[in-house]
Structure 1
Amino acid sequence: MLALLAQDTPTGPEFGKASPLGLLVVLILLAGTVLLVRSMNKHLKALPDTFEPEHPEPDQKADEGTEPGVIPATDEGSAEPPKPAT
Structure 2
Amino acid sequence: MTSGSGPLFLGPDVAASDAVALVAQPSQPNEPGGEGADFGKSSPVGLLVLLLFFIAVAFLVRSMTKHLKRVPASFDPPAESPAEPAEKASDDDKK
Normalising by the smaller structure, the TM-score range is 0.3 to 0.5
Q: State TM-score, norm by structure 2.
A: 0.42
Of Structure 1 and Structure 2, the greater helix share is in: 2
Structure with larger Rg? 2
